[in-house]
């Protein structure tokens, strides 16, 4: 499994979200880190994404009360979608 940054600032392009993978959207300064889980991502990737989100909170020095919101593909919230230039 590879961990890489795919974009640095929003608005993001929805096409960055690949169904085969999981992604972490760091908005921790705003009190939340999102974990988006593509429908074809395997269990190892799903577990690792949650771990990466928790490590991000720690590494960035965010409050220990920072929320991690898990979003399966197709169940994205309006708050998550606001970080993208257009959502289809």
Domains annotated for the chain, with CATH where assigned, are 19-81 (3.40.20.10)
Pairing of strands 32-37, 22-27: antiparallel
Helix (H, G, I), strand (E, B) or coil at 53: helix
Give 62's contacts (C-beta < 8 A, 6+ positions apart).
28, 29, 33, 56
- pLDDT over 80 (residue 24): yes
Average pLDDT, the chain: 91
Instruction: Supply the pLDDT for residue 3.
Output: 65
pLDDT at 10: 81
What's residue 28's pLDDT?
76
């Amino acid at each position: 499994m590879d961990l890489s940054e795919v974009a640095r600032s929003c608005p993001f392009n929805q096409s960055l979200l690949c169904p085969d993978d999981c992604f972490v959207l760091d908005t921790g300064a705003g009190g939340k880190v999102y974990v988006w889980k593509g429908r074809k991502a395997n269990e190892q990737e799903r577990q690792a994404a949650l771990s990466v989100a928790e490590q991000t909170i720690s590494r960035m020095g965010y409050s220990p009360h920072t929320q991690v919101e898990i979003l399966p593909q197709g169940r994205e919230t309006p708050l998550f979608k606001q970080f993208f230039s257009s959502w289809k």
